[in-house]
Structure 1
């Protein structure tokens, strides 16, 4: 993902999480907040329950690839993808399907 499509600052993460509009699946949770800019941005959060640093980085790399494949960044919203511990138990394709269904639910 390009840097202009990423959310990195803790303040921005907190604003989106406080908006409290979310969609959930067994392995992912998607928090969404509308905005007035021309492109969407996405942040990824992987907690320590997922595993060590190597495992968390692997999960983040997989999520970035999933987002590039099924997210068009044309919407006018910010989103945060939270990874649940069930993520490791599912295959890449199953997690990608979960992400696609969550993105279809977002209608802003």
Structure 2
């Protein structure tokens, strides 16, 4: 994922947490905030050390990034922060995809193409 699509700085995370909205299911918490300055989405991912070692956490992050790259055109251009919860550590990509679609549809962040 290119730099312009990432949220890395602590200040950016804090602004999304403070001024954004959040929606959750059992596997994920998604915070989002509208950002009219950029015409595209930006993504920040948080995976706790409680979910496993570095290899497992990086695998979860790669799968979340892959989902956002796949559905980039269907998502509204906002700033998103995805926090993974414990059940994610035992899920494969298709289960993660289904769960993220579910929480993003609840949040009304997906265009109605699907």
Same fold, TM-score > 0.5, yes or no: yes
Residue 74 and residue 85 in structure 1: after superposition, are their counterparts in 2 closer, same or farther (change >3 A)? Answer: closer
Shift of 1:50: 0.7
Instruction: Give the root-mean-square deviation of aligned CA atoms.
Output: 1.9
Unaligned residue ranges in structure 2 (runs of 5+): 110-114
Q: How many residues align?
A: 108
Alpha carbons 1:39, 1:74 under 8 Å: kept = no
Post-superposition Cα deviations, 1:23-81, rounded to whole Å, max 9, x if no partner, equal 11211111011121211111111111111111111111111111111232763421100
Residue matched to 2:26: 26
Stretch moving more, 96-105 or 55-64: 96-105
Which structure 2 residues correspond to residues 80-95 of structure 1 after superposition, within 5 A? 80-95=81-96
Residue matched to 2:112: none
Residue matched to 1:7: 7
Q: 2:74 & 2:14 partners in 1: Cα distance?
A: 21
Residue 74 and residue 88 in structure 1: after superposition, are their counterparts in 2 closer, same or farther (change >3 A)? Answer: closer
The alignment's TM-score, normalised by the length of structure 1, stands at 0.87
Other structure's SS at 2:36 match: coil
Q: 1:14 & 1:91 partners in 2: Cα distance?
A: 30
Residue 73 and residue 9 in structure 1: after superposition, are their counterparts in 2 closer, same or farther (change >3 A)? Answer: farther
Other structure's SS at 2:11 match: helix
